[in-house]
Amino acid sequence: MAMTSSSSSRRTRLARPRRALRVEASREEELMSKLMSMIGVGGDGIVSAAEALPGRAEAMRTPEAHYVLRPNRMTAPWPEGHEVAVIASGCFWGSEKGAWRIPGVYSTAVGYVGGHTKNPTYEEACSGRTGHTEGVQIVFDPNVVSYADILALFWTSHDPTQGMRQGNDRGTQYRSGIYCTTDAQLKMALDSKEAYERALKASGRGSITTEIKGPGDVFYYAEAYHQQYLAKPNARPYCSAQPTGVQMPEDWLTANGAKFGPGFRAEYGPRPGCTIGFPNAPVSLEEALAAN
């Protein structure tokens, strides 16, 4: 899923004078800007609705049961009282694994969100012509895990200052985003952004570029191949998320009803290297409470 240059190309670039590299980069940016304009991509890099691919009426076929949390369902209806959150933090393989491990999460799924094309394919989303980003749908029991806990996972599991990329993955389909399903979620998401941005800037980092949208965006399921990908046999252990190491402020978490404390986050929370080194099995509630 990542786009990388060959080692020979890197050596060639390193051998060039810095001024030549700056000129070349400027030309590349100019050419890319012209190309994006030609295909209908706006100034923020996201294709316009008028120029987006049309998509299709047929939804993607989705497995009935979650590969890790089986026999839990992959699609609605959900158990009574459960809520739905949708986040985007780079490559959805690693993002989903981080989510399904949280106690109180009933189900997760990867898909495409924030764009215009109906029921897009992976290839279409990667083309930049759908407007979507790779997202994760999280169905959770708010009596066990709060939306504040979900937001803490989101902010600390990637670098939300990187714009239209995350680590080695570049393109609008890797942008950071929170796609709220209720007005209450929107209010908390915006407030969490302010709190986390203050923490980031105190550590010397830049401004958050995360897209935060209110209710109304459709989450389109991705192909079955991508669902719970990292838990499947022969999966390629890839994740390019770039956690900053900056923690969500504890006072904000306490004020917003977080169920899990700093001990849980220290033991089971995101760390450099993303989710590759973590087991596939979810953290049990007993383990979480013991860590608290």
Distance between CA atoms of residues 116 and 156, nearest Å: 28
Maximum C-alpha span of the chain = 63
Task: Exactly one of 91, 126, 180, 274 is catalytic; name it.
Answer: 91
Residues 6+ apart with CB under 8 A from 39: 47, 51, 128, 129
Could you tell me whether strands 165-166 and 133-140 are parallel, antiparallel, or unpaired per DSSP bridges?
unpaired
Could you tell me whether strands 105-113 and 133-140 are parallel, antiparallel, or unpaired per DSSP bridges?
antiparallel
- Tell me, yes or no, if 91 is annotated catalytic: yes
In sequence order, what DSSP letters do the residues of 11-45 get, joined into one string?
HHHHHS-HHHHHHHHHHHHHHHHHHHHHTTB-TTS
- Catalytic residues, by residue number, are 91
